[in-house]
Amino acid sequence: MEKKANKSRHLAAISLIVMGAGFLLTIPVQDTLWGKLLQGGFEAGLVGGLADWFAVTALFRHPLGLPIPHTALLPKNRKRLTEALVKMLEKEWLTVASIMEKIKKVNLSEIILTTIIRELQSDHVKKVFHTLIKDSIEKVDFTKLTPLLEKELKGYLYSIDSSKMLKSVADGVVIRKYDEAAFDYILGETGKWAATEEAKQTMGKVGKQLIETTEADGLLKFAIQSFSNLVNEEKIGQMMQTFILNRIVNVSRPDNRYRKLILDWIKKELVEIDKREKLMDEVNDWKIKLVDDFDMQPQLDSLLETAKDRLREFVNQEDFVDSYVNPIILQYINDLKEDEEKMSSIESWLHVKVAGAIESNHSKIGVLVKENLDKLDTETLIDMMENNIGKDIQWIRVNGAVCGFFIGVFLTVFKLVI
């Protein structure tokens, strides 16, 4: 460490030179009254200045380099001085109680929140946030969420009440008259099929087989056999085709009695579908089996990868932090500031943590001071002390010389009077 010039030494040395020079200059005029007064003053000032010089010098080193007893007090007692300084810092000046007394006067939470708000506006913090979020997205394996999502989705599907869902669907069908539309659609498709040649032939074959395989006795058997001999498959098909098409046309009319009966029956079945417990149990079992057999993993993996791509594009916007991240943080901080109870709780928590940190590390203050002092050699340490407190100590020499001068004048006057 570079030594600093101690200007106060020059001032003290000048005072000694002045006193010594004054003493020498007053020797030729010592027989006069003024000569005696001045010589007495300069003589006492020189003695006082030298005595104080010796005392001040003895604190830091051996005067004139001579190993005079009880001199160089500070170098000889360096260890005791260091220990006393450390003890004074720990036990008197920087005690845990005194530090905490000062800390209690500081609103730590307000300082922290204000600092956060200020730093959020800096380009460096924005860049750090942006980089951190982008890196987090890249490092997160979204597909690891697949088992969790699959479990949650299946759990949700298991929890769905099949009877309520089916009832809701049935009510919707009735309200929107989908049952009538479905009935008309079935009639239309059946009519289209029944009008084809293929349908006529099929119905002819089925009818012929039905007649021939019908078992009967007596007159009924004779009548059936006679009818079978009179008609062939084509005639039976023609008859059945005409019958079905006519019935479809009739039932398609809005005022048809049979149509109303059929639709009323369908509506009743739909409205009371939840009362059919067996059907509901079957639907529920079917739902559970369907959910159990459904492998969602490929679809969920694809969905999560797509979500990651969308999230990456969203985060890569230049104004992402300004538009989305900072407003959320600032809103949270503002809400927190308005909640006095939370702020008080945070402030108390911070003081407790700071107190704990101070108490557990308080001894390190003394250790740090001691370590820094031990790093300095004795000469450097003495030089530092002289430069920091030496000015006031050197004034002891100046004051000794000046006070000695006036005391010498006073004593000379006293001797002349006596």
Query: What is the DSSP secondary-structure string of 56-76?
Result: HHHHHS-GGG---TT-SHHHH
Chain centroid to CA 407: 75
What is the pLDDT confidence band of residue 2, given thresholds at 50, 70 and 90?
very low
- Alpha-carbon distance of 328 to 321, in angstroms, equals 10
The pLDDT value given to residue 1: 45
Three-state DSSP at 6 gives coil
The burial of 15, by beta-carbon neighbours within 10 Å (0-12 exposed, 13-18 middle, 19 or more buried), is given as: buried
Distances (CA, A) of 359 to 99, 203, 272: 10, 102, 76
| Dihedral, 100, 102, 104, 109 alpha carbons, nearest 10 | -110
Which residue in this structure is represented by tokens 């999230």?
Answer: 311
Compute the residue count for the chain: 418
307 or 414, which is more confident: 307
Chain centroid to CA 234: 85
What is the Cβ-side half-sphere exposure of residue 203, based on CA atoms within 13 angstroms? 19
- Alpha-carbon distance of 197 to 186, in angstroms, equals 19
Q: What is the pLDDT of residues 121-176, one digit of tens each?
A: 898 988 998 999 989 888 888 888 888 888 888 888 888 877 788 888 888 888 88
Chain centroid to CA 193: 70
Least confident window among 7-11, 119-123, 213-217: 7-11
The pLDDT value given to residue 4: 46
The pLDDT value given to residue 3: 46
The pLDDT value given to residue 393: 62
Global pTM reads 0.47
Q: Which two three-digit tokens encode residue 330? A: 């600032």
What is the pLDDT confidence band of residue 272, given thresholds at 50, 70 and 90?
confident
Q: What is the pLDDT of residues 333-358, one digit of tens each?
A: 899 888 888 888 988 888 888 878 77
Chain centroid to CA 157: 34
Q: Is 223's pLDDT higher than 60?
A: yes
Is residue 212 within 8 A of residue 228, CB to CB? The reply is: yes
DSSP classification of residue 276? -
Answer left, alpha or beta for residue 160, where phi above 0 means left and psi between -120 and 50 means alpha. beta
- Alpha-carbon distance of 358 to 356, in angstroms, equals 5
The pLDDT value given to residue 68: 63
The burial of 94, by beta-carbon neighbours within 10 Å (0-12 exposed, 13-18 middle, 19 or more buried), is given as: middle
Q: Which of 317, 330, 305 is nearest to 130 (CA)?
A: 317
Using the CB atoms, write b or e for 153-169: b if 16+ within 10 Å: eeeeeeeeebbeebbee
What is the Cβ-side half-sphere exposure of residue 143, based on CA atoms within 13 angstroms? 6
Which residue in this structure is represented by tokens 């106060």?
Answer: 8
274 or 175, which is more confident: 175
Q: What is the pLDDT of residues 96-126, one digit of tens each?
A: 677 777 777 788 888 888 899 888 889 898 8
Dihedral over Cα of 224, 226, 229, 230: its sign? negative
- Alpha-carbon distance of 252 to 246, in angstroms, equals 10
Distances (CA, A) of 409 to 12, 43, 46, 395, 402: 21, 9, 13, 21, 11
- Alpha-carbon distance of 212 to 115, in angstroms, equals 101
Dihedral over Cα of 39, 40, 44, 45: its sign? negative
Q: Which of 169, 172, 237 is nearest to 202 (CA)?
A: 237
